Amino acid sequence: MRAIVQTEYGSADVLRLEEIDKPVVLDNSVLVRVHAASVNAGDWHLMRGTPFLSRLMFGGLLKPKIKILGFDVAGRVEAVGKNVTQFKPGDEVFGDLSECGFGAFAEYVCATEAALVLKPIATTFEDAATVPGAALTALQALRDMGQIQSGQQVLINGASGGVGSFAVQIAKAFGAEVTAVCSTKKMDRVRSLGADHVVDYTQVDITQNGQRYDLMLDAAAYRSVFDYLPSLTTQGTYVIVGGSTARLFQIMIFGSWISRISRRRVKCVVVKPNQKDLITLRELMVAGKINPLIDQHYTLSEVPEAIRHLEQRQVVGKVAIRV
């Protein structure tokens, strides 16, 4: 089979399209013929081995243990192990492979049952493949960390990105009034997601506009959390899901202390992929509550180019890979 293989850390130049053996189906695994995948920031961090913590988390201090990247996947079940009960050959599935070895940038991949769910019939493989990682992050950030409630004022910073674009839609599905923050040229596409208000951050400083929010989800954290705290209501919640490494570490290390001194909750999301939440996302897809915003489509051989495009931070929504 063809796969995008990595044997050293570095830029997208280290990725090679190679012919390798098809995975062997184990007793508890599902062999999927991959039809689509998508690119996430996590892919380029693992590709480059930065921040260094990623090497400690996933192994491979000097060379990557994960040879084939990609954790968003959609495809058709080719074969199942003897202990598999949820799926059968021919089933169309999608899922998150981040806890079962990655490997979506290939023609075939083996996954555990828990990493997959049935794909909605009306959803294309490419659309389905863009959902798992980003939408799981948005769901857990809003529902679990933010404890979102109907009627709340919710601000999504970085609303044009992968996580942000799903966060806008999921917050609306929970009944919130949503303010989305993005750049000028991305406003129309973000508005199409259903945001009640769209703010151009190049023209308006949301920390100085006098508005107060019950919940802020920051998918583009390049400013200090202390800049945002005055824009939260009393007992409001700030949740960081993406941005600069320095800001992420600031919340991971000092979040509890900041919460105590500010009397506002400050949280950092650590996504926990699980089948129950994938089913929740599928239900939202079937109901038309979430629809992926896809910036560009690439083929399997173009994965290096797709990652370069994502690294430029100009993507609107998601980048899909057709396999």
Same structural domain, 76 and 107 = yes
Decide which of 209 and 186 is more confident: 186
- The domain that holds 302 is classified in CATH as 3.90.180.10
- Residue ranges making up the domain that contains 261: 134-268
Overall domain count for the chain: 2
Using a 10 angstrom Cβ sphere, with 0-12 exposed, 13-18 middle and 19 or more buried, the burial of residue 1 is middle
CA-closest candidate to residue 294, choices 103, 130, 143: 130
Q: Which pLDDT value is given to residue 90?
A: 98
Same structural domain, 123 and 148 = no
Least confident of 114-118, 239-243, 301-305: 239-243
Q: Which letter, b or e, does each residue of 212-232 get, where b requires 16 or more Cβ atoms within 10 Å of its Cβ?
A: ebbbbbbbbbeeebeebbebb
Please give the helix or strand (H or E) that residue 48 lies within, else none: helix 41-48
- The domain that holds 181 is classified in CATH as 3.40.50.720
Q: Which pLDDT value is given to residue 257?
A: 67
78-98 pLDDT per residue, tens: 999 999 999 999 999 999 999
Secondary structure letter of residue 25 according to DSSP = P
- Please give the Cα distance from 159 to 161 (Å, whole number): 6
Residue 226: pLDDT band by 50, 70, 90 thresholds? confident
Same structural domain, 167 and 83 = no
Least confident of 52-66, 209-223, 252-266: 252-266
Q: What percent of the chain has pLDDT over 90?
A: 79
CA 145 to chain centroid:
16
pLDDT of residue 224 exceeding 90, the answer is no
Decide which of 167 and 222 is more confident: 167
Same structural domain, 172 and 297 = no
Same structural domain, 229 and 318 = no
CB 154 within 8 A of CB 171: yes
Kindly report the pTM of this predicted structure.
0.94
- Please give the Cα distance from 127 to 288 (Å, whole number): 13
Least confident of 195-199, 213-217, 240-244, 292-296: 240-244
260-283 pLDDT per residue, tens: 777 788 888 889 999 999 999 999
Please give the helix or strand (H or E) that residue 31 lies within, else none: strand 29-39
Q: Is residue 67 part of a domain?
A: yes
Using a 10 angstrom Cβ sphere, with 0-12 exposed, 13-18 middle and 19 or more buried, the burial of residue 97 is buried
